[in-house]
Amino acid sequence: MSATTADTHVFDVREDNFEAEVLQASLTTPILVDFWATWCGPCKTLGPMLEKLAAEFNGAFRLAKVDVDKSQQLAAMFGIRSIPTVMLVKDGQIVDGFAGALPEGQLREFLTRHIQALADDAGPAEAEAPEAPEAAIHRIQQAIAAEPDNAELKLDLALALMRAGQADAAEAELAVLPANLATDGRAVRLRNQLDLARALQGAPSLGELQQRVQANAADWEARDLLGVRLLLEDDAAAGLEQFLAILERARDWNDGQAKKRLLAAFATLDDAELVGRYRRRMASLVF
């Protein structure tokens, strides 16, 4: 990536120019906002990958960099709890986002859900295939062998193990993280994912749970487990609907479990628009 290309597609933003350079500019070009800090280890991994992708997408989106130490009010306004946090703004609205340093393959997936890359003079950039979970585990384990004191890599390993379906191994890695990472947004998210995964130990299959709910709409246990299964099997909206149905008709069932499930689910999802929509629906039932 040339300096000219980087300057074209990547820029710094603060409170005084955020409205013009991000909100107004997003009416014509999507803006990816990267909340970061100089002391943040994962930011040093994520930032260069985002800049590389901004160049490859050739103006299909622009990358706005927000140093949270220099723009604390801006970070507070967006409720930034951990960094790096990335938000995609289109048409003046936040449409998606994620926290933590994702692998490059997942970053490409995130971007291509919303943005079509523009071809440059050399032709369109060739998209890389998403990294397989097993390959990610092997890569991170090799990195840990080279840097055994790098706790950030151990958190990365826990996340990769969870993506590979190895919940017990992920939990073991999570348990030995140092205190400063135990409260990292990615660790909190993983902990909620593990809690949800544990709920399915010994649970019936998806088809059986669907049959039980169809036969008895007030089978709250089946509806609850169906919601968890749908959530973990990448049908988040359908899973959240199950929890809302319980909250609406039996809010006190099992000590208010539906509300707890919703809050745990919100902590695991990257889709800011989806979470916002269901938070509002939950609030209308609770308050």
Q: What is the pLDDT of residues 148-160, one digit of tens each?
A: 888 888 888 988 8
pLDDT at 287: 66
Least confident interval from 36-40, 115-119, 242-246: 115-119
Q: Tell which CATH architecture fits domain 3-112.
A: 3-Layer(aba) Sandwich (3.40)
Cα angle for residues 58, 48, 135 (degrees, 5° grid): 100
Every domain range in the chain assigned CATH 1.25.40? 206-286
Every domain range in the chain assigned CATH 3.40.30.10? 3-112
Distance CA 159, CA 156 (A): 5
Tokens for 29? 């070009």
pLDDT at 50: 92
Catalytic residue from among 40, 46, 117, 265: 40
Distance CA 203, CA 190 (A): 21
Among 70, 109, 81, CA closest to 188: 81
Does the pLDDT value for residue 126 go beyond 80?
A: no
Least confident interval from 42-46, 115-119, 255-259: 115-119
CATH no. for 206-286 = 1.25.40
Q: Which value, to the nearest 10 degrees, does the dihedral of the CA atoms of residues 45, 47, 51, 53 take?
A: 60
pLDDT at 130: 63
Does the pLDDT value for residue 119 go beyond 60?
A: no
H or E stretch covering 31: strand 31-36
Does the pLDDT value for residue 1 go beyond 70?
A: no
Q: What is the pLDDT of residues 169-212, one digit of tens each?
A: 989 998 888 887 777 777 888 888 888 888 888 899 999 999 99
Distance CA 222, CA 217 (A): 9
43 is annotated as an active-site residue: yes
In sequence order, which residues have a C-beta less than 8 Å from that of residue 20 and are 6 or more positions away?
none
Does the pLDDT value for residue 124 go beyond 50?
A: no
pLDDT at 92: 82
Tokens for 50? 């985002």
Does the pLDDT value for residue 283 go beyond 50?
A: yes
Cα angle for residues 219, 225, 226 (degrees, 5° grid): 85
With beta carbons less than 8 A apart as the criterion, state whether 37 and 83 touch.
yes
Position 129 confidence tier, pLDDT thresholds 50, 70, 90? low
Q: What is the pLDDT of residues 247-280, one digit of tens each?
A: 999 999 999 999 999 988 888 887 778 888 888 8
pLDDT at 7: 56
258 is annotated as an active-site residue: no
Catalytic residue from among 10, 22, 43, 275: 43
Q: What percent of the chain is modeled with pLDDT above 90?
A: 32
Query: In whole numbers, what is the pLDDT of the chain averaged over residues?
Result: 85
* The model's pTM: 0.50
With beta carbons less than 8 A apart as the criterion, state whether 251 and 259 touch.
yes
Cα–chain center distance at 92 = 21
